[in-house]
Structure 1
Amino acid sequence: MHPTPTSGPAATNGRVSFWYAGAPLPERRPPLPGDLQVDVAIVGAGYTGLWTAYYLKQAQPDLRIAVLEKEFAGFGASGRNGGWLTAALPGQFRRFAARGEAVAVAMQRAMIDTVDEVARVAAAERIDCDLRKDGELSVATNPVQQRRLLDRLPALRREGWGEEDMVLLDQHDLADRVRIAGADTALWTPHCARIQPAKLVRGLAATVERMGVRIYEGTEVTHIRPGAAVCRQGTVRADQVVRGLEGFTARMPGHRRTWVPMNSSLVVTAPLPPDTWREIGWQGAELIGDEAHAYCYLQRTADGRIAIGGRGVPYRYGSRIDTRGETPAVTQVQLRDLLHRLFPATAGTPIDHAWSGVLGVPRDWCATVGLDRSTGLGWAGGYVGHGVTSANLAGRTLRDLILRQDTDLAQLPWVGRRVRRWEPEPLRWLGIRALYTAYRAADRRESAGLGRTSAVARAADLVSGR
């Protein structure tokens, strides 16, 4: 008999994220002291900006690089995400693969290599970020999800996934790894690792500082133009200016409709007791996601908790952002109840922390990176939830573009890709709200036993461009 489900809000809500709960928020570095001249100015001290600085400085140590950050390094999605270092393709590249296009295979192999590249750098630079590469489980929790997962296998083959890259697990194989209520099929891939996001971004920031990169925190960039990043404290002039703001891109003048800030919310339990872990059977550090349309994502943390995330309130009118990261009570309840459905043994474990962050979503759900050599303006983002891996690949790609290196990375299909702009308000808000209403309705119908993928979800995919 399982304990009575816990109720009430999380003990802590917001305050950036749980990943910073083990220590005080970092003391801010000094802001920009005034006008400055550098070779490369990078706007945003998240994974994208810091990886770009790391690889540029490694390739050409004499480069003068300044990273400009409104809050502190890791304040945005880099310090709030679910800790998935996954090789899953970002966004619509899966559609390219479905058409048999070789560019999708190149992109997929690059993402697979990037998982190991992040692990390599973390080890080389002694960044302790709880990294453990036990792979990823995509789990079907009802018959419709099972059919959808099986139908996806041919497309994965076309994307370049070999026999060693994915293993189909039946109910007994899955139970040997983890026991999830209602799940009898899963797809496992080794190309995914768990990380502690804040530890990675803070370690990376400290590393690039030791290399000679200057990070200015408490420094808001108000305008980006060719040759300059204009801040409240002064103007940073540079041959190249790179925008790496991801979900905060909409705040930059001229970019409100470039990528929408899509909200994702997480809750994390208190540490689970040993008998609960024995009942669940999740002894490794596999990352777990389901096959629902409004999907969830989970990790077992290094200190024995379960973190679970989902979309919650996906979008706020006018591309507004709640920087405090507070999560509405209704979203906390939804995530808590989902956790209890997947793992009934957790019903008596309280939720310790809830938080939210934003990710950048292009209109066609397809990430992009590029450099306009005529203006010196660079960009990367629109990772649609795959930013931990994609940002590293983007940083290495920006290095090659800035240094004018004609490499395989510089030829990847996301380089220079211009995406369609989002509709103006109120169409943007209405469309996104309708989209997620449709996905949740589809999930409810499928859970009730609908025999195939809901037509509602298929229609939503066509409208959204996913």
Structure 2
Amino acid sequence: MASTVFERNRPAESVVEHALQGTAHSVFWRDDLPAALTPDRPPLRGAHDADLVVVGGGYSGLWTALLATERMPGARIAVIEAQRVGWAASGRNGGFCEASLTHGHQNGMSRWPDEMPLLERLGHENLDAIEAAGAKYGMDFQFERTGVLSPALEQHELTWLHEMRDEAIADGDDHIVFLDQDAARAQVNSPTYLGAIWDKKEGMLHPARFAAELARVAEERGVVIFERSRVSGLDTSSDGVEVVTDGGRVRARQAVLATNVFPSLLKRNRLMTVPVYDYVLMTEPLSDAQMAEIGWQGRQGIGDMANQFHYYRLTKDNRILFGGYDAIYHYGRKVRTEYENRPQSWRRLAEHFFTTFPQLEGLRFTHQWAGAIDTSTQFTAFFGTARGGRVAYAAGFTGLGVASTRFAAEVMLDLLGGVENERTGLRMVRRRPLPFPPEPAAAIGINLTRRSLDKADHNEGRRDLLLRTLDALGLGFDS
């Protein structure tokens, strides 16, 4: 099989070792938060009453609480978080805030082609609402409407770029721009780039600040947030629901489950997602001379086009976040802290970083971390209600949920309110995807799929029988 650019142009081992020397195992985004945005909220103690209780203090739970204050003025709303606000995926992701509700145009077209014009309009409206929320609520989450660059690194990927260009032209999407090799490298000076597509409408933000600001504004509007309170039970009665923790309970008329990758409180959803671990590096701030070497004046987010892809972006102080490629599933569907420590993944990322930017030799990484992604078989979120319509849920964002969590919050509130509209009428909302199989079939299938994706990247993108079969069945696994 053919080699990839990362195998053809490996950096010297000494370059990688120098860059990783002294790197802290810590999430940069959370370390970068000012103390004012990290108040020490109390755990849940005793019995409380509410109109709405939200389980989960990440983006989807916080958006639900905040939007509920607008829909239900004066309502008593409580959020219960097992750790700290934004502790999990919401505080660890790359900060790509994209309009797609379907994990990209191609995935949506393969599943809901007749709904795609509506889904894309709703997605762009949702992204616009997130940008507007900064001014509306006085939030600073370092939002930048820079767009996202998708470079081709291998010859066969240029064919994909041309197809994307032709489709954008046919659809009249003037915000999607095709760049040949010279134009791509004029935007970001990487010797790996053969061309690129630039979607100019997408945004970037500071993930942990986003969660922290959502929590701050929700509290200012009367929402009560309990931290360090792991929910152990969900009981339903004729007049409402009760959420139980070790230290207390909240009785409410309705509940929202926004637990993302963690095991659902509903048995029906236990097989709907699997946790896939993603690994990330963050550099020290680049000097002006280093920035001049790589260009990147447009500050776009970047995600290459391979099956095992990398994503990278600039921070406000010109650090480079570099993540992706490895997507590791551990037998048993568990979410465990020890899975976050994988030196071989960080070393591989460091090698790929210096293949991408050899002119930055000598740069060090200050932070390395990992987190679990809630992967669904349809590559994007699914929705529903339970317990006689008193409980709503959304999960399965599959790594592209920063923006779509707001859409999910709207959907969950619609479902609880019995609202019929464009959102709740979507087949993507009304139909559940296929579940993942139980073990050991899940581990066998996922790891065989990862192997096939890697093989495709080494074989001019050609998908083998396993991948073609999964495509035909509408099953997916995000690399």
- Please say whether Structure 1 and Structure 2 have the same fold, judged by a TM-score greater than 0.5: yes
> Residue 13 of structure 1 contacts residue 327 of structure 1 at CA under 8 Å; is this kept in 2?
no
Which whole-Å CA distance do the structure 2 matches of 1:164 and 1:324 have between them? 45
Matches within 5 A, 1:267-416: 267-323=281-337, 326-372=340-386, 374-416=388-430
- 1:11-22 → structure 2 map (5 Å cutoff): 11-15=22-26, 17-22=27-32
| RMSD (Å) for aligned C-alpha atoms | 2.5
Q: Distance in 1 between matches of 2:272 and 2:173?
A: 38
1:458 deviates by: 4.1
Cα 1:100–1:429, aligned 2, differ >3 Å: closer, same or farther?
A: closer
Q: Quick check: 1:46 aligned with 2:58?
A: yes
1:68 equivalent in alignment to 2:55: no
Looking at structure 2, the residues matched to 14 and 113 of structure 1 have their Cα atoms a distance apart, in angstroms, of 37
What's the CA shift string for 1:113-171, capped at 9, x where partnerless? 2221111102222221111111011110110111123234566678xx53323111111
Q: Per-residue deviation at 1:381?
A: 1.9
Report if the CA contact (8 A) 1:46-1:78 is conserved. Answer: yes
Separation in 2, partners of 1:23, 1:98? 40
Q: CA deviation at 1:98?
A: 4.5
Which of 426, 440, 464 matches 1:455? Answer: 464
- Alignment of 1:168 with 2:168, yes or no, is no
| Aligned: 1:190 with 2:200 | yes
SS of alignment partner, residue 261 of structure 2:
helix
Deviates more, 1:243-252 or 1:332-341: 243-252
- Residues 449 and 467, structure 2, Cα contact 8 Å, conserved in 1: no
Question: Which residue in the other structure is 1:231 paired with?
Answer: 245
Distance 2:21 2:421 in 1: 48
TM-score by length of 1: 0.91
Distance 1:10 1:105 in 2: 49
Partners of 1:179 and 1:395 in 2: how far apart? 39
| Residue 89 of structure 1: how far off its partner (Å) | 4.1
Q: For residues 388-414 of structure 1, what are the alpha-carbon distances to aligned partners after superposition, in whole Å with 9 as ceiling and x for unaligned?
A: 011011112223333333332332332
| Kept in 1: contact 2:375–2:397 (CA 8 A) | yes
Contact 2:112 2:427 (C-alpha < 8 Å) held by counterparts: no
Are 1:46 and 1:73, in contact at CA under 8 Å, matched by a contact in 2? yes
> How many angstroms does 1:206 deviate by?
0.6
Corresponding letter in the other structure for 1:333: R
- 2:100 matched residue in structure 1: 88
Which of residues 210, 216, 232 is equivalent to 2:220? 210
The CA distance in 1 between the partners of 2:307 and 2:466, in whole Å, is: 7
Matched, 1:107 2:119: yes
For 1:110 and 1:11, locate their aligned partners in 2 and report how far apart those are by CA, in whole Å: 45
SS for the counterpart of 1:121 is: helix
Partner of 2:8: none
Unaligned stretches of 5+ residues in structure 2: 1-10
The one-letter code of the counterpart of 1:163 is: D
| 3-state secondary structure, aligned to 1:383 | coil
Q: Partner letter of residue 66 of structure 2?
A: Y
Q: Deviations over 1:199-233 (max 9, x none)?
A: 11001101000000111111111123432222212
Change (3 A) 1:132 1:339: same
The code of the aligned residue for 2:410 comes to R
CA contact 1:263–1:313 (8 Å) conserved in 2: yes
Provide the C-alpha distance between the structure 2 equivalents of 1:404 and 1:187, rounded to a whole number of angstroms: 41
What's the CA shift for 1:422?
1.2
When structure 1 is superposed on structure 2, of 224-233 and 250-259 the one drifting more is: 250-259
- 1:23-70 CA distance string (max 9 Å, x none): 578343101121222111111000000001111101221111111100
Partners of 2:112 and 2:346 lie apart in 1 by: 41
SS at 1:240's partner residue? strand
Worse-superposed segment, 222-231 or 379-388: 222-231
> TM-score, structure 2 length as denominator?
0.88
Q: Alpha carbons of 1:154 and 1:453: their partners in 2 closer, same or farther (altered >3 Å)?
A: farther
Which amino acid in 1 is paired with 2:71? A
- Larger deviation, residues 407-416 vs 381-390: 407-416
Cα 1:424–1:98 shift into 2, 3 Å: closer
CA shift for structure 1 position 324: 6.8
Q: CA deviation at 1:10?
A: 5.9
Give aligned-pair identity as a percent: 28
More displaced stretch, 122-131 vs 330-339: 122-131
Of the three residues 133, 142, 166, the one matched with 1:121 is: 133
Question: 1:290: Cα distance to partner?
Answer: 0.4
Contact preservation (8 Å) 2:389, 2:416: no
Classify 1:250/1:53 alpha carbon distance in 2 versus 1 (closer, same or farther; 3 Å). Answer: closer
Cα deviation code 1:268-313 (max 9, x no counterpart): 1111122221111112220001000011111111111110111535
1:56 aligns with 2:50: no
